[in-house]
Structure 1
């Protein structure tokens, strides 16, 4: 339906205090016209007074009227609805009972979900679907396996849906998620949205706890291809792991390579998808994002090509 707003509306026969500081417009919407009164934040709010004034506005204009507020508190909104006072409070709510309209306009929460890059929780869900669930999986099961809250799993699935990577089917109260693409194709379609899981990198003494972590970087790639192992081994650790706080970090410029390792602190748990002591192939590929070393590029291409998708 087309909405038309006139430049302004002047009324006669109403008190000056109801005109001063308030702009009024005639709005045409869906074949109906109504008066819109813009109330500034400086105006004193009182639902009883606004209700009495509304009757005066409507009589003077000869049409329904509604107030426009820049923002409302929840108690103010409730008071207006209780007295059936029409109002618009962008971007929160539209309440026009004379048109049968009462809806929240929170700018559609789905549209606020970023679709440029995956959130860490989103990437975890994506990897879970790629590696574990060829026939799809229940959203609740994925949340339990990944340790995500209901809000986090919903936001992650909404982001993947918005990116066109998954679809959802609802049966009763259960929601099952399915990948839209399969095999190597899913990686190629998802690649523009995938993030580098490494939050930061530190150097530390390699003790038993560190050496029990998953290999990453050139160490992981070297264990899967003919690429030579680096002099300093590379491991991946979850940022929330207790191991992070216990690391004995060192300055590599003042230490010999012996007894030192490179620690990648990840945005999600690398162990969740690791196999045979190394991080998963998709995450590994993203750690080499913007890599210009031809040796690594060649080994990575070989690894991804030979991976059993």
Structure 2
């Protein structure tokens, strides 16, 4: 993770004393032996949220009773409050931008406390995530997204920052080229990020079959039945961007299923990531948010497994 500190190379090795630790400590970190210059230490990478300071100090003591060397916490980021607390209590830590290693010296750089996202993504961020997912590459260069997504530079920058705020992505540079990267598999990434994703459907109604246009694609149960073992609904369902239709054309009542189709108006263009004649798989899954139907849930599980666990 880190190549050098103060010019000293860092080398990693296994740390094989986990079996001597209580289970609650063993399961909370990934352990490695680290050699920083000529100093050996134990480096802990948290696998869950850090505990309170008093509990943390007890954990350090238990580790040092087994291996009496400095304990260093390798963190993605650290809040201003916890940084101050660690320094005051002589607890070593490292992030990509800040280092506090009192057993060899101290180096701190300014790092703004990141703002963790607490609500849903804006739809531009949701589209950026979908593009990353469908790109099938671990690393996505921002310059590529500019050619595909209909965003201004400012909108794209905000969407990138919002992805980073989830702690599920790393935003970095390869030379001068900025990129997005996640360490998770597509399936795990979707399960972790799903809480931030929204149902793209803004409004639903019915139109006459003769009013179907080329801007409309299959959606809802129609699309889901094409991709899974779900039996299709009698009424065909389409989706279209809410910006591409006169909403006064919508009828709120299904009068004749032989003459009408169901139409979903989406917050973004369902043709953006089109899959054949249907909207993209993940957006279709999200369009069922709030539906409590066992047969739909089974079909969604089938679709996600096929799409994300390839």
What is aligned with 1:159? 162
Structure 2, unaligned runs of 5 or more:
1-111
Q: Indicate if the aligned counterparts of 2:215 and 2:240 stay in contact, CA closer than 8 A.
A: no
Structure 1, unaligned runs of 5 or more:
1-107
1:268 correspondence with 2:259: no
Q: 1:186 aligns with which of 156, 164, 189?
A: 189
Cα displacement string for residues 22-43 of structure 1 (whole angstroms, at most 9, x for unaligned residues)? xxxxxxxxxxxxxxxxxxxxxx
Q: Indicate if the aligned counterparts of 1:206 and 1:260 stay in contact, CA closer than 8 A.
A: yes
What is aligned with 1:132? 135
Q: 2:209 aligns with which of 192, 206, 209?
A: 206
In the aligned structure 1, how far is the partner of 2:285 from the partner of 2:191?
A: 12
For residue 126 of structure 1, report the CA deviation from its aligned partner: 0.2
**Secondary structure at the counterpart of residue 143 of structure 2:** helix
In the aligned structure 2, how far is the partner of 1:228 from the partner of 1:294?
A: 13
In the aligned structure 2, how far is the partner of 1:157 from the partner of 1:143?
A: 12
Change (3 A) 1:110 1:224: same
For residue 290 of structure 1, report the CA deviation from its aligned partner: 2.2
TM-score (norm 2): 0.59
Q: Which has the larger radius of gyration?
A: 1
- How many residues are treated as equivalent by the alignment? 198
For residue 233 of structure 1, report the CA deviation from its aligned partner: 0.9
In the aligned structure 1, how far is the partner of 2:252 from the partner of 2:120?
A: 33
In the aligned structure 2, how far is the partner of 1:212 from the partner of 1:240?
A: 11
TM-score (norm 1): 0.59
Q: What are the residue-to-residue correspondences of 1:293-304 with 2, within 5 Å? A: 293-304=293-304
Runs of 4 or more consecutive aligned structure 1 residues displaced over 6 Å after TM superposition: none
In the aligned structure 2, how far is the partner of 1:261 from the partner of 1:129?
A: 32
Q: Indicate if the aligned counterparts of 2:215 and 2:271 stay in contact, CA closer than 8 A.
A: no
Change (3 A) 1:302 1:217: same
